Amino acid sequence: MTSVNSLVDIAVFGIVGAIMMAALIGLLLVVSGSARGASPRVRVAFGAASVVLLVALPTLTAANTLSSGSGFWVAFATATCVVAVVYAVNVAMLPVVARRRAAATGETALASLRPSPPVLAAGLLICLALGLLGAAVAALVV
């Protein structure tokens, strides 16, 4: 029954995280598309909100998994999968953001921006690190 609980945690927290990340990216696009553009403070605020999201969601997922009686490694795997879902949304939104930015600045190189396999692999390593951080914090709290 633990695996079903973990899958539900991944689905719920992953979908919520994906929606929140897409909303943050959308808001940043709206703000940066205004006449003044996004100020450095606004960009820092959006970056901080993204980092909080990428740390809080795996921690909550791992805490939920640990409180259901699962072990640390199950919590780590669940937290890593949640971060991977949010990462997938970021990768999927990258071409949209790049095209929007290219249209605003006139740079044609941005319009064809795509992540390379090494960049995607590095992102997966970051997902593992964030999953481990979330599981470790949850293990300390729970």
Per the CB < 8 A criterion, the answer to whether 5 and 72 are in contact is no
Of the pLDDT bands very low, low, confident and very high (cuts 50, 70, 90), residue 125 is very high
* The pair of three-digit structure tokens given for residue 78, joined into one six-digit string: 């669940």
Neighbours of 126 (CB within 10 A): 14
Q: State the total domains in the chain.
A: 1
Neighbours of 1 (CB within 10 A): 8
Residue range 95-100: mean pLDDT, rounded? 78
Query: Residue 50's Cα: distance from chain center in Å?
Result: 7
Q: Which of 10-19, 40-49, 88-97, 122-131 has the highest mean pLDDT?
A: 122-131
The predicted pLDDT at position 36 comes to: 63
User: Would you call 23 exposed, middle or buried from its count of C-beta atoms within 10 A (0-12, 13-18, 19+)?
Assistant: exposed
- The C-alpha atoms of residue 61 and residue 10 are separated, in whole angstroms, by 7
Of the candidates 53, 52, 43, 45, the one whose C-alpha atom is nearest the C-alpha of residue 21 is 53
Own/partner contacts of 40-44, CB < 8 Å, gap of 24 or more, are none
- Whether 137 has a pLDDT exceeding 80, the answer reads yes
Per the CB < 8 A criterion, the answer to whether 113 and 38 are in contact is no
The predicted pLDDT at position 5 comes to: 79
* Domain range for 16: 2-141
- The C-alpha atoms of residue 71 and residue 69 are separated, in whole angstroms, by 7
Per the CB < 8 A criterion, the answer to whether 61 and 133 are in contact is no
